[in-house]
Amino acid sequence: MSKIAAIFQRELSGYFNTPIAYVFLIIFVMLGGLFTFYVGNLYERGVADMLPYFTYLPWLFLILVPAISMRLWSEERRSGTIELLMTMPVSVWQAVVGKWLAGVVFVAAALACTIPLWLTVNYLGSPDNGVIAVSYVGALALASVFLAIGSCMSALTSNQVIAFVLAVSAGFVFVTSGTPIVLDAVRAVAPEAVALGISSLSMLTHYEGLTRGLIDVPAVVWVVSMTAFWLFATTIAVDLKKAG
């Protein structure tokens, strides 16, 4: 446990030791605001809630979370520090979890920076704050899935740009797997049951429930199993590709 904490702390302070953290936070808050007020038309809708923000958040995450996850393992491999880390008395899964947790806490900090938006809608009207709180939890859960996918992609390559592109692509498949983009392609070659199975992997299906304030069992199962699966895949990737 103390080793997970040590890795977590080193990784998190690593974000703030470089400009990454500040660039990310500023862009994240700016784009969030942009989506909410211009694309989501917060004012014109005349409803005091944060739905415009949370509706576009998965797309924002799709691009920005891989920027957080891309360095997790690629950088270790590029700089050779993975050799240092993996000859210390620590298991691969501890390192994987420690690094992923650092990403989760960092995204949580980014989400915390959007609290002024929450205050704004409270000033404008009386939103259902329970729904907003659940939406924040859902957003963080979504980010933790993206981070788990991203950490796996990062473990596959020593190149951060490749890790980023792979993570965005994989994330895109999971975001859109409930939409015709993916389902039509699947239906053309596979039976309906397969298409149904794939659509149940979709992020948006589960996330939409959360933005309505609904924490249901399938959503929780989806978040936990997706995160666990991708973190497990990360440990395998780290193990296999250590040398390269």
Residues that bind another protein (CB under 8 A): 2-3, 5-7, 9-10, 13-14, 17-18, 79-81, 83-84, 86-91, 242-243
Give the nearest distance from C-beta 18 to another protein in angstroms. 6
The letter for the amino acid at 98 is: G
Indicate the angle between helix axes 217-241 and 71-79, nearest 10 degrees.
10
Q: Which residues of 115-130 are buried (b: 16+ CB within 10 A; e: fewer)?
A: eebbebbeeeeebeee
Give the nearest distance from C-beta 243 to another protein in angstroms. 6
What is the residue whose two structure tokens read 């193990």?
239
Distance CA 213, CA 129 (A): 9
Q: Is the CB of 116 or the CB of 244 nearer to another protein?
A: 244
Give the nearest distance from C-beta 76 to another protein in angstroms. 9
Burial class of 193 by CB neighbour count within 10 A (0 to 12, 13 to 18, 19+): exposed
Give the nearest distance from C-beta 90 to another protein in angstroms. 6
Give the nearest distance from C-beta 6 to another protein in angstroms. 4
Closest CA to 146 of 56, 86, 60, 51: 60
Give the nearest distance from C-beta 77 to another protein in angstroms. 10
Q: What angle do CA 138, 142, 143 make, to 5 degrees?
A: 120
Q: Is the CB of 46 or the CB of 80 nearer to another protein?
A: 80
Q: Is the CB of 98 or the CB of 138 nearer to another protein?
A: 98
Task: Give Cβ neighbours of residue 54 (< 8 Å, ≥ 6 apart).
Answer: 135, 138, 139, 211
Q: Is the CB of 89 or the CB of 180 nearer to another protein?
A: 89
Q: Which residues of 2-26 are buried (b: 16+ CB within 10 A; e: fewer)?
A: eebeebbeebbebbeeeebbeebbe
Q: Is the CB of 5 or the CB of 190 nearer to another protein?
A: 5
Q: Is the CB of 59 or the CB of 93 nearer to another protein?
A: 93
